[in-house]
Amino acid sequence: MEPLPQPLCSFTIPSLYDGIRIDCRLYHPRQLSRPDSALSWRSRGAIVAHPYAPIGGNYDNPIVCGVAGELLKVGYIVVTFNFRGASESAGRTSWSARPELSDYVTVYGFLIYYLVGIDPDSIRESLAESGNNQPPAVTDIQNPTAGSERLEIILAGYSYGSMIASHLPSIEAVLRLFASPEAGSPSAEILQQADDLSTLWNLEAKLELSSRTPILQGSSCDGQGKPSQSVSMGSSAESTGKKSSMDMGAAIRHSIERSRRRLRARFIRGHGVENRTVDASVSASSGVSEIAQNMLTPAVSFLLISPVIPPITNFMTMSLFGPRINLDVTLAGMKVKSTPPEEQLTTHRSLVVYGNNDMFASAKKLRKWVTDLRKTPGSMLEFVEIDTAGHFWFEKGTEDQMRAAVTEWACSNSSGGEVCKMPSLL
C-alpha cells in the first residue's frame, strides 16, 4: 500500500479547552500541485482522529495514516492531530473525554477557516501573468449566474477517535466559537494560523510556477504557527529588470487582496457582501472570518472506522449511570452541546466500517447498532461489515477492503450524488 506522503506542514494550535498545544499535520492532495487539476478542485477537507492515547494511539497510527491517504487520493485536504497526552504532546488523557472533544473542535475550526482561505485560482493568475506579463483584471464574480460554493468536510475517527467524532457539536456551534474572538485568545490564534498558512500556500501556488521556490512544502512551524525555516518570496533584486524588494512587497499585497476578493465571490456570492474592498493587511478576524460567517453552511459528513460503542464508551468517559454519554463542555465562555450519535450519524451523510471479529464489540452488537441507525426515517447512514476483520485490521486483506470502502464512499459527491474519477498519480 502506498505510504502517506510527507505533510505540507506540521504545526501546533492551542486547544479551546485550556490552551494546551495540539500537534497537527496538514496534507494537500496531489491535485492542488498541478495547474490542470487545481483549477477544478472543489473545497474539501477532512480530519482523521486517532485511537486511545493510553494504549499508544497517535497520529502515526497505521490506520489513521491509511484513511488519510485514501482521502488525499480523492482530493481532500487532510488534517491529522494528536489528542492531548498522545505521543509527546502536552497534557494527559482525561477521564471524561470533554477535553479531547474540545481538541477535535479546535482542529475542526482551523480546518474550516483554512479551507476558506485556499485559492486555487492563484494558479490561474500566475498562468495569465506568465503569458502576457500583466496581472489579470481583479473581478469579484467570474460567473454571476453561478451559486456560491459549499465547503465539504469529513469528520473521521478510528476507534476512540470515532467516539469523539460522533459526539461533535453542530457546525453552527463551531462557527459561533470563532465568530468574534477576543484578541490574544486561542480562537483568535487559530484563525490567524489558518489565515497565515492558507495565504502562504496561495503565494506558493502562484510563485512556484515562475520561480519554483517552495514556501511550505515539507516545512514545520513553531508554536505560534510560523514556518521554522526561512520563507523565500521569490525574486532577486540583483538582476536588471527584476522587481525591487518594495515592488515585490506591493505585488504580494496586491496578490493577497485579489485572492481574498476571489474567495469572497466564491463562497458568498449573492449574499450582499462580496463587493466590499478587502485590505490585504487586515487580520484574519476580518478576512477569512467574514467569509466563513457569511458563506453557505458547509456540508458535513462522518466517517467511523472500528467504532467503539456502549458499554465501552461509558467506561472511557466515566459515564457509568446511564446508557448515553454526555460530552457537553464550555468553550470560550459558551456552552457547547455535544450531539448524540443517533442524531449525528442519521442526519448527515455517514459511513461506518467495522469488522465482524472486533475484540471490543461483538459482530451482533455492532450489526444491531448500525442497523437500528439505518432504520431511522430519513437516515443517511451507510455501513460496511468486513468479514474476519478485527479492531486493528491485522487480518490479511482486511485493511485493503476497508480502505477501498472509504475511497468509494468519499469519492461520491455529497451534493450531487455523482462519482468522481480517481486521480492519476503518475
Amino acid 133: pLDDT: 46
CB 89 within 8 A of CB 103: no
CB 297 within 8 A of CB 151: no
CATH number of 9-411: 3.40.50.1820
pTM, to two decimals: 0.83
Which residue bears the cell 494550535? 13
The domain spans of the chain are: 9-411
SS (H, E, C) 316-366: HCCCCCCCCCCCCEEECCEEECCCCHHHHHHHCEEEEEEECCCCCCCHHHH
Task: Give me the average pLDDT of each 10-residue run along the chain (426 residues).
Answer: 91 97 96 80 96 96 98 97 93 94 98 92 64 45 54 97 97 95 95 93 75 55 46 36 54 63 62 43 56 86 94 64 79 96 97 97 94 97 98 98 97 56 43
Residue 353 CB contacts under 8 Å (≥ 6 apart), including other chains? 303, 304, 305, 306, 383, 384, 386, 402, 405, 406
Please state whether beta strands 21-27 and 299-305 pair in parallel, antiparallel, or not at all (unpaired): unpaired
Strands, DSSP E only, in 107-199?
Answer: 152-158
Amino acid 215: pLDDT: 52
Measure the CA angle with vertex 152, ends 63 and 343; round to 5°. 75
Tens of pLDDT along 324-357? 788 999 999 999 999 999 999 999 999 999 999 9
Q: Is 182 exposed, middle or buried (0-12, 13-18, 19+ CB in 10 A)?
A: exposed
Amino acid 291: pLDDT: 79
CB 75 within 8 A of CB 44: yes
Amino acid 288: pLDDT: 73
Over pLDDT 90: what percentage of the chain?
56
Give the C-alpha separation, 79 to 107, whole Å. 8
Measure the CA angle with vertex 362, ends 359 and 365; round to 5°. 145
Please state whether beta strands 77-81 and 21-27 pair in parallel, antiparallel, or not at all (unpaired): antiparallel
Amino acid 424: pLDDT: 40
Amino acid 315: pLDDT: 62
Amino acid 416: pLDDT: 43
Residue 173, SS3? helix
Helical spans, DSSP H, in 44-144: 62-73, 98-117, 121-132
